[in-house]
Amino acid sequence: MSTQTVTEPSRVVGTHRSAEVSPTFAPIPFSRVVAVEARKTFDTRSGFWLLAGIAIAATVATASVIVFAPDSAQVYGSFAQAVGFPMALLLPVVAILSVTSEWSQRSGLTTFTLVPHRGRVLLAKAVVAVAVGVVSMLLAMAIGALGNLLGAAINGVDPVWDSSVGQLATIVLANVLGLLVGFTLGVLLRSSPGAITAYVVYWFLLPTVFGMLAAFQSWFADVQGWVDFQYSSTMLYEGDLGATDWAHLGVSGLVWLVLPLTVGVLLVRRAEVK
């Protein structure tokens, strides 16, 4: 009986080792990461009610202007300002929860296993948060426009459209910047209660402190626009910004937004996910 020798490709033949081909996998497309993050924003109960609360708040603000504002204030600018205030409070919370949910709900272990490059995940979250903010503001402005038409019909006057497209665009920009501040705090702290508390301090306490400092210290009044990001971004609600106003917004945004977000991204990339 003769014996046969089976030669395996992986064994050494002479002085050469056969090449082993390792499987390759295509990276997950960024569009799919964005789609997943968008679905996660709407799937959670808190996210759903926050987004629903934006529409409810815009409706309540519009109705309040119709009921309580005098006839002379029944103009579209009044509706836009009334709608913009609740947006400035709710949209940053949506951005905060989009980031901190990975740690508070312990889904980060799965997310960062499927997409090891954490920077791509954070970028997708930022894209979704900004898109939600812009769409929410457009929806709120549409509700305000309906309120302006309804208020004019009730009062028997012609509707007054006293806000230009440029002014409405700067209002949207102001709310998006506030949303990004919330996003930055979420990236830095990675805790929902901590980030929301920090944003409340940023929104309510810091303007009071900086306002008192500017009122009693002339040197700070001269430089407030360069160091107070909220003061600079609030000018967007008034429209017609000059070159100096845009410079204030850029420099203070670099200090309060760009640098902290960069530090936060570096921390997230090295943080241990439990």
Query: How many angstroms separate the CA atoms of 192 and 127, rounded?
Result: 20
Residues 150-206: tens digit of each pLDDT:
888 887 778 888 888 888 888 899 999 999 999 999 999 998 899 999 999 998 899
Tell me what pLDDT residue 9 has. 47
pLDDT band, residue 21 (cuts 50/70/90): low
Helix (H) or strand (E) holding 12: strand 12-13
Please determine, for residue 6, whether its predicted confidence score (pLDDT) is greater than 70. no
Residues 194-213: tens digit of each pLDDT:
999 999 999 889 999 999 99
Hey, which residues does 269 pair with through a beta bridge? none
As a whole number, the mean pLDDT across the chain is: 84
Query: How many angstroms separate the CA atoms of 15 and 208, rounded?
Result: 78
Across residues 79-99, what is the average pLDDT?
A: 85
Hey, which residues does 16 pair with through a beta bridge? 13
Tell me what pLDDT residue 274 has. 66
Helices (H) and strands (E) in the chain, counts: 12, 2
Are 106 and 193 a contacting pair, CB within 8 Å? no
